[in-house]
Structure 1
């Protein structure tokens, strides 16, 4: 049996009966983590509350994921708390992000159009849809208590996760994040699930997926995207996501278009629209490449007035992008760009604006 990774701080909290919340997604790692942690808690006589927590991401979830989580909860005799975003799931969040990007661009509240999709460096899908809701729920449910939040992260999943700590306290000081199976291999995980008489998510052995998260994940390999697209239950979501690629001109995975994974699922009109979207993407990027690094959005933007030459460049790019997308945008000439920047800077009196030349 594989040994759990643990720290003295976690051991002390367990000994005093701190609540333990185990995040479960339906994937193998969270499944194995829950089984191993509950076995350990039983052995050491943990007397505090325990629960499983699942963040339902809506239409991007495999239909079997909730059932796997519920079977796990039944096996362990624990409550399964399911959290859902009031304004819809992750697909709705991506679509709303694109609407926001368009509105901000038209109003010159951002320098360039912002991608609608999550990215490996900007995983708001995890922070907004999982971390923040789970943290808020645990604080409400266990007021004044220090809670142990368990996640099934393993070091060999990625270089980033290889650097993860076994346990760490969050900034609020009331939540300890514990990663008990950090040093397990995938074989260890599957063996643990089988040893408990449970089945892993069917996506692994029936669908041919190497990982289970969203049906189409920003972190998915090409093989996993193809395997997901082969499942009939994913076809409607696939088309909806491709339509967002078409509308936004942003590929789902940076340079990899989801629409290229299974074009046979698209009709002729959608395939032509995807071709046009790729052309729009190239023209948008060519136009935006004229914006210098010093002009791009940074925290606290804008930090200064643009020069006349910079304002001319930005206005020219905005006219080109506006025409490309059919927007009705403001600030399409030098004077209106300067006026917009002056409005922003005037709202920050503690930071005097530099004069433009």
Structure 2
């Protein structure tokens, strides 16, 4: 049974927000699972959407960094505002390490970006146990056992049971909560414990580099909202998407302004950076990955055979590898493009040249 809070709930609301009424008793679920309730102290909605007010009112500003261009631009923007407010000490950068399935050097780059930006604290989290490929195999085993059990219950031959695809997809992105969201919440737990002496729920502002221009689904996301699933009686999590309305051009201009280095995969032609082979990635990104990291592509192809399903609906890893091999045969091993190629394509040669010169002058990075 949930205990009554030991403090006045009105005190816990953000400034300007009316006290939240006690939640209604949860309805029973047919599945038998216990319905999740939100602690009564958690606000229904953020009290403000003004960036500087969000930073002032929070105890921690946690910037999630994949090492990609969007999180890099977001990092620069958030740090600039926090520094102007004299609150850079609140900022923590967290990178969810995906292991062998992400581009080489990503973790190191995310740390370097944070350090060069002047962030005092960088954290790395990682899912325990199996990585993404191993989880696909484990998930396939569970789905297969379930399908066979249901077939037996219907009096059918279990060997003919249709097994649901084990790979992540746009409609079943189980990889994100498993590999990123869950591990990052372990950091929230630690940060909350560090400020337990406050005697109230710790306020955490989680900054995520999702943009409306990426997909119709992300376009529907709110720029600021309460993360009720991650909040509880000890911590209140507000989600802020600082660059939600930004265009590609604005992202690259922010990177140019910041002088922070970006991942070379963009110069190779990638549009996004996360897993080398992301189910949401465009075909050109996937083929580029197969050319640059052929041994990882081969591991994905072997897993397709193990689980009996293509990596991506309508596009198998075997086909991605074939297309990569055709390009290699026609063009030969691709030479690494000049640094700054991706930026120049969006914001022009003049801005890019200035960015490169300032990198050398400020950070001592090679031009």
1:248 and 1:242 map into 2 onto residues whose CA distance is 10
Larger radius of gyration: 1
Alignment match, 2:84:
43
Alignment match, 2:158:
none
Of 173, 181, 185 in structure 2, the residue corresponding to residue 135 of structure 1 is 185
1:204 and 1:16 map into 2 onto residues whose CA distance is 36
1:185 and 1:265 map into 2 onto residues whose CA distance is 30
Alignment match, 1:179:
241
Query: Is 1:150–2:207 an aligned residue pair?
Result: yes
* Structure 1 residues 98 and 45, CA gap change in structure 2 (3 angstroms): same
Aligned length: 258
* Structure 1 residues 17 and 264, CA gap change in structure 2 (3 angstroms): closer
Matched residue SS, 1:148: strand
Listed as ranges, the matches of 1:41-120 within 5 Å are 41-46=82-87, 49-78=90-119, 79-108=121-150, 112-120=162-170
* Structure 1 residues 53 and 47, CA gap change in structure 2 (3 angstroms): closer
Matched residue SS, 1:219: coil
Query: Is 1:18–2:77 an aligned residue pair?
Result: no
Of 228, 241, 244 in structure 1, the residue corresponding to residue 303 of structure 2 is 244
1:264 and 1:122 map into 2 onto residues whose CA distance is 26
| Superposed CA offset, 1:160-210 (max 9, x none) | 1111111111113511110001111111111211222222111101x2111
| Superposed CA offset, 1:301-344 (max 9, x none) | xxxxxxxxxxxxxxxxxxxxxxxxxxxxxxxxxxxxxxxxxxxx
Listed as ranges, the matches of 1:215-294 within 5 Å are 215-231=276-292, 234-263=293-322
Q: How large is the RMSD of aligned CA atoms in angstroms?
A: 2.3
Of 160, 181, 191 in structure 1, the residue corresponding to residue 217 of structure 2 is 160
Q: Is the 8 A contact 1:150 1:180 kept in 2?
A: yes
Unmatched tracts of structure 2, length 5 or more: 1-46, 154-160, 194-200, 326-367
**1:128 Cα deviation after fit:** 1.6
* Structure 1 residues 204 and 256, CA gap change in structure 2 (3 angstroms): same
User: Please, what TM-score do these two structures have when normalized by structure 2?
Assistant: 0.66
* Structure 1 residues 9 and 112, CA gap change in structure 2 (3 angstroms): farther
Unmatched tracts of structure 1, length 5 or more: 1-5, 267-357
- Relative to structure 2, which stretch is displaced further, 176-185 or 129-138? 129-138
* Structure 1 residues 47 and 77, CA gap change in structure 2 (3 angstroms): closer
| Superposed CA offset, 1:240-275 (max 9, x none) | 111111122211111211111113889xxxxxxxxx
Matched residue SS, 1:52: strand
Q: Is the 8 A contact 2:223 2:240 kept in 1?
A: yes
Matched residue SS, 1:86: coil
Matched residue SS, 2:79: helix
Q: Is the 8 A contact 2:140 2:165 kept in 1?
A: yes
